Chain A
Amino acid sequence: MKKLNRREFLATSGAAASSALLPAGEAEASGAAPPSYDYAEAVLYDATRCIGCRSCQRACREYNGLAPEAGELNGVRFEMPAQLSEEHWMVLQVYREEPDAAAAEGRDPDWSYLKRNCMHCNVPACVSVCPVGALQKTDTGAVTYDEDRCIGCRYCLFACPYRVPRYEWVDRTPRVRKCNWNRACVRACPVGALTGGARAKLVAEAHERIEERPDRYVDHVYGEHEGGGTSYLILAGVGHDKLALPSISPSVRSSYVDPIMGSLPGWIVGMGLFLGGLYQIERRRRERESMRNGENDGEGPP
């Protein structure tokens, strides 16, 4: 599907200049740079250092008191969830290239682990769509969820470009479930594939690693610019498209709807004046008419 970036969006809304509902707040929306959270706590995941032990996954489950998945591998009970769910707020996925495609080029197939969880965006779509502010981006870099505010509309599930939030579908008091940024996973990693620290420092470190070993990495720190940047950064030896991470333009996604919301006060005042004016004109016309007819049947309010 064609992705719309900020420039294209503005061009489209320009083409639709006839639309009274659109632009208005555009200038401020495009002028403001997204908050960087450069000095908030971030996490860098280096997929080339990851050995796939899933200590992080187990730490996540234990820290958050989540039930283990009753999985089975070759008849042995073995927990190996591959997808995020209400019980798995982080999962370790594996990508492996089609062996035939690689063999045709005379090389070993590409492969990589990928630790998936909430990206903790700098300007999260889920926070911008939540009608009651149950989701918040805090100063610590975390995107938090407050079930006491949530009304269960599930707009966040729809709006998240990374498709992270999960829902307790079979529950009478359902909640949205996702990573809560406790960083138990970082502490659990035995090989230093996960690094915690200030975001600016981690971005710099990621670029250093790429520079030192350009053969080892794809030259892309995923999360540095995506959708205005994220607090969870991914470094890998395989392109993000192969890892099924979405390609997201640097523009802030929530800005699509901000100009629309920003135009509302103007719309209310404008419509009020327009309708009031029309009504006055219409009432005068009626009064003149009834005077001409020499009768007054009490039309119109006083």
Chain B
Amino acid sequence: MKVTSLRNLDVRLPLSALVAIGFGLALYRFYGGLGVATNLNDSFPWGLWIGFDMLCGIALAAGGFVLAGTVHVFGLKKYEPFVRPAIVTAFLGYLLAIIGLTLDLGRPWAIWHPLIMWQPHSALFEVAWCVMLYTTVLFLEFLPIVFEKLRWSGALRAIQRVTVVFVFAGIILSTMHQSSLGSLFVMMGHRLHSLWFTPMLPLLFLVSAVAVGLAMVIFEALISGLIFGHRHSIRLLGDLAQALPPVLGIYIGLVLMDLNARGVLGLLVENSLESWAFKIEIILGFFLPGTLLLSSAVRYNRMKLFGCVLAVIVGVVMNRLDVSLVGMLATSPTGYLPSWIEILVTGGVVAGGLLVLSVMNQALPIAKPLPRTSFATDATRGGGRAGHA
């Protein structure tokens, strides 16, 4: 136990330092204004905090609804052990996205305005509502873990009785939210490079979010396996990875169809920054892992599986940054590179997420060795520690 806490401290001290630095710089941003802390300007009004904290944060949180749906709606109960880590990650991901958004908004004290000031023609209005509602749903999906720890079996039984409602609401809200982040850019045909700008962006964002959601769940299981000892058989992880090739394939198919329909396939052979970014994104993040994961020799090998899901994560992160930053460069007279403050604040936000995750993993029954944690669980059995060695 001593060894574990020492090792925890090794990780948590630098993380805390990053959080402190990020917090200080965030105060500076509020003191001086966005223009002082960031490299944003009138010709490039959205930067790293929207492109990474918001777009990538939400995409990487997609594992929550994908796994909840797989287990509770499609009834694939064997994947139940992944649901809780996925929900916790999604909850944290959304909280971090909200923090990023608060930093980025010019008038963050008015963040609640979409609640009463309706403008349903705006994709951002939909984003705002989805963030609020789905974060609430994730909190309710997260509560049973806390109740279990506190051994409040009455509350636990009550909340588990309505779990399926949260699951449904969560899936509907997530599909809307993931796609609405794409809809945001449908209004930017005059800004965004033709390789990425398409009226299909909402659908593409949704499909790639499903892919990266699955990839994140496997990625986390493999990482926590490395740190805390393997809890999930490679067979189970490999089986889950079987879903990736069809999803990635559908995505590539949609992208090629769309490029062809808009008559811009020729841009693929161009020698420009945008063209290369697009090719790397689609080949590294979608084509390669999608093809390799067809082979069972890759799927059922921890290292190779790890490489593949990492590629998917990198690919989708690249996609979001390409849509929000790289694809906008050509039409901005000033261009944009994030300032060191923007980067450090983002670093602090991510570090904060990892820090909370590490504390929660220790304090709450998230990655329980016993797989039965859903509404089907016998409530009185809960309350185990996080299963540290």
- Which residues of A does B touch, CB under 8 Å? 1-4, 8-9, 11-13, 15-16, 18-22, 84-85, 125, 128-134, 149-155, 157-159, 161, 163, 165-174, 246, 253-254, 256-258, 260-261, 264, 267-268, 271-272, 275-276, 278-279, 282, 285-286, 298-302
Contacts and interface: CB of A to CB of B under 8 A. Distances in A.
Question: Which 10 pairs show the lowest CB-CB distances between chains A and B?
Answer: A152-B106, A169-B35, A282-B75, A152-B107, A131-B124, A131-B125, A154-B45, A15-B261, A132-B117, A174-B106
B117 A133 contact: yes
A174 B35 CA distance: 10
A300 B176 CA distance: 27
A188 B99 CA distance: 47
B78 interface: no
30 contacts: A2-B264, A3-B189, A4-B199, A12-B258, A16-B254, A21-B203, A21-B206, A130-B119, A132-B117, A132-B125, A134-B117, A150-B107, A150-B110, A151-B111, A153-B105, A157-B42, A158-B188, A159-B187, A167-B42, A168-B106, A169-B33, A170-B36, A172-B31, A172-B33, A254-B121, A261-B122, A264-B176, A271-B171, A271-B172, A282-B74
A2 B262 contact: yes
A267 B175 contact: yes
Contacts of A267: 172, 175-176
Interface residues of B, number: 79
A257 B172 contact: no
Contacts of B186: 256-257, 260
Contacts of B106: 150-154, 167-168, 174
A2 B128 CA distance: 31
Nearest to B190: A161
A163 B43 contact: yes
A166 B187 contact: no
A2 B33 CA distance: 36
B188 A16 contact: no
Contacts of B206: 21
A130 B125 CA distance: 8
Contacts of A165: 42
A268 B172 contact: yes
B33 A171 contact: yes
Contacts of A168: 33, 106
A209 B269 CA distance: 48
B53 interface: no
Contacts of A4: 189, 197, 199, 262
| B contact patch SS | helix
A45 B352 CA distance: 55
B383 interface: no
Contacts of A84: 42
B187 A261 contact: no
Contacts of B236: none
B376 interface: yes
Contacts of B46: 154, 158
Contacts of A279: 72-73, 164, 168
A257 B183 contact: yes
B125 A21 contact: no
B331 interface: yes
A131 to B, nearest CB: 4
B30 interface: yes
B187 A256 contact: yes
Contacts of A282: 73-75
Given A12-B199, A264-B126, A279-B72, 6 more contacts: A2-B262, A9-B199, A16-B254, A19-B200, A151-B106, A157-B45
A283 to B, nearest CB: 8
Contacts of A286: 75
Interface in B40-64: 40-43, 45-46
Nearest to B110: A151
Given A12-B198, A22-B199, A154-B46, A260 B107 contact: no
Contacts of B119: 130-133
Q: Which interface residue of A129, A285, A302 has the most chain B CB atoms within 10 A?
A: A129
